[in-house]
Structure 1
Amino acid sequence: MAKLTATQVASLAKRDAKKHTDGGGLYFCVRNAGSPYWMLRYSHAGKRREATLGAYPALSLAEARLRAENMKKDLREGRDPLVEKQKRQTPDIQTTRQLFDDWYQSDLTKRLQHPQIPKRIYTKEIDPVIGNYPINDVTPKDIRRIIQRVVESGRPTIANDTLMYLKQLFRHGMKLGLCNTNPAAPFTATDAGGLEHSRERALTPEEIQHAFEVFRQNISSFGRDNYLACCLFLVLGVRKSELCEALWEEFDLDAAVWELPAHRSKTGTAISIPLPTQAVEWLATLKGFACGSAYVFPARRASKRPHMGPDTLNRAISKLFGRETGRKRQPPNKMGDLEHFTVHDLRRTFRSLAAAEGVPSHVAERCLNHKLKGVEGIYDRHDYFLQRKDAHEKVANKALSFLAGN
């Protein structure tokens, strides 16, 4: 059969859908919708295969023949052209940073509800040390250096998380055949932050009064928005990311309700959070501070994230305790003998205050947006909105006596 000519191909491209052979397995394929394209039909390992070479007219007749010949060369050498094509299309991954980017896009974003957590730890703790390193150049000594930097900064939990993500990152590299060993594999929690114990810190009424009084005394450096955020955590009991990343569109201050969407809830389920009177007043004040931002707590300086960072509040609190990461000369301790606490401890304090006010356990658990356990969790779909509203009001009224002058 005679081979096609460039003139024939241009004419055939305007006709009805059909496959036209150029010989040797190369076909010019015209379809009813979309551009015509070139296709190579071949057999490999006893299987009939078809490989798309490219669209016409971007790929000319001469270029299609050349591409087909290159694929046939792979066949003669025992390689499947489709497999070789996929290899050429695979991103070139050489450095640790490129490995993380591939892991993040191909795995973390699909598997995790909050992939930004490992991304934040990689960006802050790992990338500055080995981001530019070729993957196979990373050694256990480099892993130890990363872990020690975090440990020496006084963040044992983050040290454990960093080690965990390092192991997973290089395990991903091994899956892709980019490294033969995992340099993080020999290390354990003992080398990082040690075995973690569940925190049980909840502030007593006296501690709440003392801490918030210190906040107010140092309001110019601590920040009015930080102060109001801590007030909200105390009376709402929500998670740090849920409030720090909150959008104004989620709030109806007139109805005193916060509609937390499913994609921002740790449980993956949307929840309506009743707002006590004090919380509505604090949020109205924050709206003025936001200066038109879509976020309740907009970022205060140029950054990749448009909202308050995940460590901002804890850093501000720690500074009042005389702890400031990354500085040799530490600030004065203005909290006195008060035991150190974090934002998450305010969430736990809400639970303690709710119990003290006689709020039933199952209602308090729903206030925390916890899924109810056991048979009750399976069969009781009631959201307890009115009961939760009453619980938040009780806790807020109690807390207000500790927050005089807010």
Structure 2
Amino acid sequence: MGKLSPISCDKAKPKTGRDRLLPDGDGLYLRVRPHGTKTWILDYEFRGKRRKPTIGSFDSNGAPGESISEWLRHGRLSIAQARSIAGNWKAARRAGHDAYVEWEAQLAKEAGDVAEVAAAKAAEAAQPTVSDAVNQFMSKHMGGKKSAPAIRYRLDLLAGILGDRKISTLKRQDVIAALETIAEGRRIDSDGKRVPAKQLAGEVLIQAKRVWRFAEAREWVSTSCIERLTRRDFDAKPVKRSTVLRIDEVVELWRALNDSQRCKSDPVTIAALKLVTLTGQREREVTDAEWSEFDLDAGIWKIPANRTKKERAHLVHLAPQSVKILTELKTLTGKTAFVFASPIKEGQPIFGRSIAAALGKMFSRGALPNVTKCHVHDLRRTLITRLPDLGIEPFMGHKIANHVLPGVLAHYNHAEYLEQRKEALEKWADRIETLAAQTNVIQLQRPAA
């Protein structure tokens, strides 16, 4: 039996300035601190190493539970519970193991497990959602690019369905389900234009793959779950345009642009549509052009890399007809930075789709009855296709359009063909102008392939 009793423990008084140790037996002591706090300690030696661990505080009522581990976790021990622990651990030492060290190791492991779980939860919480990944992708890769609004629109369709989900938790079926939802329910694109929903879903997939590659590079996902996904997996096939106008149709369009009764658009938009027709450059490359890019005396237009689709600076020769259009336009917009300055929004160019709308209105109003219905980009394809009819090498149209030549040509042929490109665009403009001045236009060129 120990030397202490519940009453003596309860009535034990502290000493001034130092601890008071009251022995009980089996290395168990009641320690009374100078300020009156009472704790249980063990004093023992095991394999040459002395220890004095605290096992809990004194409480006459003790801890709830029936096991030593429950008592130790509670931390408030009665004299009977403290004696039980001391006796049990003494027996363990005699059996060759230190129960106190084992208990500390167990607590450390549990603490480590808790910390590991907490770290895992924190890591999971830090994982970006689909919306986060889209926003970071747009900020880091699409900032300032002219295609950013269209790409943002498509990615927002996906984020509208999966935006709150952690990108690391998504499976391929999740993305397919979202794309199928888009394919079934969307009919309008970012410009308010009606498009096949399945086509739009396919365009969303293309941009989603870019976001997942972005996430993979940052180790938000181990591998992209949609890299091998194709449009046919959810029946969204691209609609490839192949419209090419005949030369007589191009001439008829040119006549309409010069007829205020047939074309009701403002002079700036008309000038932009004419320049697209004569140069074969992309809509936004034309509509966003600045006067600083042009040398009208030399007949040169230098498009900076940051305004081209492939981010390659491009030189465009201006036929005399193009120079005349720009010279006349300068009286309207010459005091602004933009060649095709918006007549509505100060300090901005006309919107890229303005010329598409102008062309569409001429068709809808019946102003082009003898012209195949087409889009602005078809004028670019028409120029590339029809130049060979003027005796121009077929690849020259692609050089004018700033395309990368195919196959071995791209690898070995780095020539710019500046003089040949100039000659080609001048022949193209002369042919249109000459035929537009005639009463009848005869179709001479071969049909488009």
CA distance in 2, matches of 1:291, 1:189: 52
Kept in 1, the 8 Å contact 2:131–2:159? The answer is no
1:21-60 to 2 correspondences below 5 Å:
none
Kept in 2, the 8 Å contact 1:219–1:227? The answer is no
Q: Helix, strand or coil for the counterpart of 1:318?
A: helix
1:130 aligned partner, one-letter code:
G
CA-based RMSD = 4.5
Does the alignment pair 1:381 with 2:414? yes
CA distance in 2, matches of 1:143, 1:375: 37
Q: 1:120 offset after TM fit, Å?
A: 2.2
Structure 2: runs of 5 or more not aligned: 1-110, 439-449
CA distance in 2, matches of 1:336, 1:150: 32
Kept in 2, the 8 Å contact 1:125–1:146? The answer is no
Q: Helix, strand or coil for the counterpart of 1:259?
A: strand
Q: 1:359 offset after TM fit, Å?
A: 1.3
Kept in 2, the 8 Å contact 1:238–1:368? The answer is yes
Structure 2 CA distance for partners of 1:143 and 1:394, relative to 1, 3 Å: same
Q: 1:398 offset after TM fit, Å?
A: 0.5
2:202 aligned partner, one-letter code:
N
Does the alignment pair 1:103 with 2:137? yes
> 1:294: which partner in 2?
337
Structure 2 CA distance for partners of 1:381 and 1:338, relative to 1, 3 Å: closer
Does the alignment pair 1:246 with 2:279? no
Q: 1:291 offset after TM fit, Å?
A: 5.2
Q: Helix, strand or coil for the counterpart of 1:221?
A: coil
Does the alignment pair 1:278 with 2:321? yes
CA distance in 1, matches of 2:359, 2:384: 20
> 1:234: which partner in 2?
277
Does the alignment pair 1:204 with 2:204? no
> 1:122: which partner in 2?
152
Kept in 2, the 8 Å contact 1:126–1:146? The answer is no
2:349 aligned partner, one-letter code:
H
2:412 aligned partner, one-letter code:
Y
Kept in 1, the 8 Å contact 2:277–2:383? The answer is yes
> 1:263: which partner in 2?
306
CA distance in 1, matches of 2:433, 2:298: 21
TM-score normalised by L of structure 2: 0.56
1:394-405 to 2 correspondences below 5 Å:
394-404=427-437
CA distance in 1, matches of 2:233, 2:256: 36
Kept in 1, the 8 Å contact 2:356–2:375? The answer is yes
Structure 2 CA distance for partners of 1:288 and 1:364, relative to 1, 3 Å: same
Q: Helix, strand or coil for the counterpart of 1:361?
A: coil
> 2:396: which partner in 1?
363
> 1:162: which partner in 2?
204
Q: 1:360 offset after TM fit, Å?
A: 2.0
Q: 1:276 offset after TM fit, Å?
A: 0.8
CA distance in 1, matches of 2:405, 2:158: 42
Kept in 2, the 8 Å contact 1:275–1:392? The answer is yes
Indicate the percent of aligned positions where both proteins have the same amino acid: 21
Q: Helix, strand or coil for the counterpart of 2:301?
A: strand
Q: 1:346 offset after TM fit, Å?
A: 0.9
Q: 1:374 offset after TM fit, Å?
A: 4.1
Kept in 2, the 8 Å contact 1:118–1:165? The answer is no
Q: Deviations over 1:70-117 (max 9, x none)?
A: xxxx999656x9x99x97996x966x65442122124x339xxx8542
Q: Highest CA radius of gyration, 1 or 2?
A: 2
Count how many residue pairs are aligned between Structure 1 and Structure 2.
311
Q: 1:161 offset after TM fit, Å?
A: 1.2
Q: Deviations over 1:132-171 (max 9, x none)?
A: 9634799977655544454465324545313433565578
CA distance in 2, matches of 1:195, 1:271: 28
Q: 1:278 offset after TM fit, Å?
A: 0.7
Kept in 2, the 8 Å contact 1:130–1:142? The answer is no
CA distance in 2, matches of 1:286, 1:189: 50
CA distance in 1, matches of 2:282, 2:406: 19
Structure 2 CA distance for partners of 1:244 and 1:135, relative to 1, 3 Å: farther
> 1:28: which partner in 2?
none
CA distance in 2, matches of 1:367, 1:207: 21
Q: 1:249 offset after TM fit, Å?
A: 0.8
> 1:391: which partner in 2?
424
Kept in 2, the 8 Å contact 1:278–1:396? The answer is yes
Q: Helix, strand or coil for the counterpart of 1:203?
A: coil
Structure 2 CA distance for partners of 1:142 and 1:363, relative to 1, 3 Å: closer
1:14-93 to 2 correspondences below 5 Å:
78=115
CA distance in 1, matches of 2:341, 2:274: 17
Kept in 2, the 8 Å contact 1:257–1:272? The answer is yes
CA distance in 1, matches of 2:233, 2:433: 42
> 2:380: which partner in 1?
347
Structure 2 CA distance for partners of 1:143 and 1:383, relative to 1, 3 Å: closer
CA distance in 2, matches of 1:219, 1:226: 14
CA distance in 2, matches of 1:371, 1:140: 33
Structure 1: runs of 5 or more not aligned: 1-73, 323-331
Q: 1:245 offset after TM fit, Å?
A: 1.9
Does the alignment pair 1:306 with 2:348? yes
